[in-house]
């Protein structure tokens, strides 16, 4: 049952490839086929990038571990080396504690920065890719903008402003179906980034290691 609860990047790519073939066969040379080709290329890139987002960054993990060890060592050093307070040494001890506190705060801030670094980098990459998908969605929408089925039901005279609309009812139906499928697949490709980003937020990932 669990196998149906996660997106499969390979199946999404195969579906986009099949859609491009169907468009090219039904409408040879149509711009919509070129858009499907661009979507296919984006999906192939997304497969690798989303899988990379789902994997922990070893370099960042090592840096976090090293900093955490240094952080704990600093606290232990401070606790061990602070002498018992006396009246003459009270000022020096307070100054030492203040310096140690500043170092602890600085180390803690750096640790938080490193712990959240992979998440922030992943979100930056995902947003950049989603912007590319959004552009494809707008292009697909432009292709179906003038494909109004009502025009076929009450065909009037051509104004000459738009290219001649020579599609039959069946062809127009298929063309709009292809546009709808392409728009839906754009959403599926975008969802791959959501699944890849889910690992960083502690949710189950679609790309288990």
Tell me which of 98 and 138 has the higher pLDDT: 138
Task: Give the integer Cα–Cα distance in Å for 168 and 149.
Answer: 10
Local confidence band at 207 (pLDDT 50, 70, 90 cut-offs): very low
Task: Give the integer Cα–Cα distance in Å for 118 and 57.
Answer: 7
Local confidence band at 183 (pLDDT 50, 70, 90 cut-offs): very high
Task: Give the integer Cα–Cα distance in Å for 189 and 40.
Answer: 10
Question: Whole-number mean pLDDT of the chain?
Answer: 76
When pLDDT is averaged across residues 66-74 and rounded to a whole number, the result is 75
In a domain, 2, yes or no: no
Tell me which of 190 and 209 has the higher pLDDT: 190
In a domain, 206, yes or no: no
Task: Give the integer Cα–Cα distance in Å for 17 and 43.
Answer: 10
Tell me which of 4 and 16 has the higher pLDDT: 16
In a domain, 142, yes or no: yes
Task: Give the integer Cα–Cα distance in Å for 13 and 17.
Answer: 6
pTM for the predicted model, two decimal places: 0.64
In a domain, 190, yes or no: yes
In a domain, 140, yes or no: yes
In a domain, 43, yes or no: yes
The residue range of the domain holding 80 is 7-155+162-200
In a domain, 208, yes or no: no
Q: Quote the percentage of the chain above a pLDDT of 90.
A: 22
Domain count, the chain: 1
**Ranges 11-15, 49-53, 60-64, 151-155, most confident:** 11-15
Task: Give the integer Cα–Cα distance in Å for 61 and 67.
Answer: 10
In a domain, 209, yes or no: no
């Amino acid at each position: 049952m669990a196998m149906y609860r996660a997106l499969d990047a390979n199946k999404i790519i195969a579906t986009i490839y099949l859609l491009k073939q169907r468009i090219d066969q039904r409408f040879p040379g149509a711009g919509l086929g070129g858009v499907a080709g661009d979507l296919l290329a984006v999906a192939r890139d997304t497969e690798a990038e989303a899988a990379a987002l789902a994997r922990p960054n070893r370099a960042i993990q090592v840096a976090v571990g090293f900093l955490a060890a240094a952080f704990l060592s600093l606290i232990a050093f401070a606790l061990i080396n602070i002498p018992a307070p006396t009246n003459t040494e009270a000022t020096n001890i307070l100054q030492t504690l203040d310096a140690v506190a500043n170092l602890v705060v600085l180390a803690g801030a750096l640790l938080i920065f490193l712990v959240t670094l992979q998440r922030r980098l992943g979100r930056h990459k995902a947003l950049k890719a989603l912007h590319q998908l959004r552009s494809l969605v707008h292009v697909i929408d432009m292709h179906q903008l003038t494909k109004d089925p009502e025009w076929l039901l009450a065909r009037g005279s051509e104004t000459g402003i738009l290219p001649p609309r020579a599609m039959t009812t069946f062809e127009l139906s298929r063309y709009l179906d292809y546009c709808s499928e392409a728009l839906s697949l754009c959403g599926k490709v975008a969802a791959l980034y959501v699944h890849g980003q889910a690992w960083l937020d502690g949710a189950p990932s679609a790309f288990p290691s």
